[in-house]
Amino acid sequence: LFEPAHGTPPRPLTIIASATGVPRGFYARFAEHLARHGRPALTFDYRGIGGSLREPIIESTARFRDWGVIDTPGVLTWAAAHAEGRPIHWVGHSYGGFALGLAHNGHIVDRLLGVATMTADLRFVQSWRERARIMALVSIGAPAIARVKGYVPGWLNGNSEDLPKGVALEWGRWVMTPQFLFGDHTLPERRHFTRVRAAIRFASMHDDTWLTDTGVRHLAGQFSNAAERSFWPVTLAEAKAERIGHIGFFRNAHAATLWPKALAWLDADPR
């Protein structure tokens, strides 16, 4: 929990939800930025990852769905008890952007900024080269290694955290399932997407090869009862950068360009 300076007027509590395999520490600079502007900010690790790994990773029973169905509601429950009546906002990176829709209590969030998040159906990727790369990595390579080693080493997907076997297997299956998790009929928690009433903005990086406009807009459509849905296509010129990619939005290099715009949208909450 990153706290503002003592005596700061109460502001919304902002929860920062990680991308797959990205540890909470990666978001510390962004959380500090929010705290400096009067917003308490909370980062956390999903089960089987970073500080939430309680056993040898080969013994972890975590599934991909558990991060949204179990961990996200747990974090929201904690936040509601500590927010002291303040609004709760959610900044979700990649997985973190749709995790809120799987939570039975996601309706308590007033504002959701989804960064590099989408319905990750492989069919939505137009480039056959990128489609082949993702399939080789997520749906073939990672599951095969998970079955042999009992987990997936973090270097394989470019992140710094190892993935539990159950996470990797379900991730690989969802990517190959039509409409991603929304096509998984063993996941009744899909219904919770319609309970989210937050104002939502989807930030998409121009050079993010994992992201597709079709996937972003499909995900937006699942939040069918959101107070509002808007889109922020982030260009390299806007960021004054040569590269942003899938995780770059949260790097300190964008503290003076992209972060103030994110904060301004969060601050637009009339409450």
The 10s digit of each residue's pLDDT in 47-72 is 999 999 999 999 999 999 999 999 99
| Euclidean distance between CA atoms 82 and 172, whole angstroms | 36
Strands (E), 58-195: 88-93, 109-115, 151-152, 163-164
Structure tokens at 166: 């159950």
Per-residue pLDDT, 157: 67
173, 185 Cβ separation under 8 angstroms: no
| Euclidean distance between CA atoms 271 and 261, whole angstroms | 19
Per-residue pLDDT, 111: 98
Per-residue pLDDT, 271: 45
Per-residue pLDDT, 251: 97
Residue 20's contacts (CB-CB under 8 Å, 6 or more residues apart) are 64, 94, 95, 157, 159, 163, 167, 171
Per-residue pLDDT 10s for the chain (271 aa) are 999 988 888 899 999 999 999 999 999 999 999 999 999 999 999 999 999 999 999 999 999 999 999 999 999 999 999 998 899 999 999 999 999 999 999 999 999 999 999 999 999 998 888 889 889 989 999 999 999 999 999 887 666 799 999 999 999 999 999 999 999 999 999 999 999 999 999 999 999 988 999 999 999 999 999 999 999 999 999 999 999 999 999 999 999 999 999 999 999 964 4
Selection from 161, 145, 138, 158 nearest residue 52 by Cα: 161
> Roughly how many angstroms between the first and final C-alpha of the chain, as a whole number?
22
Per-residue pLDDT, 141: 92
Residue 201's contacts (CB-CB under 8 Å, 6 or more residues apart) are 112, 113, 114, 229, 230, 231, 232, 265
| Euclidean distance between CA atoms 223 and 98, whole angstroms | 9
Per-residue pLDDT, 9: 84
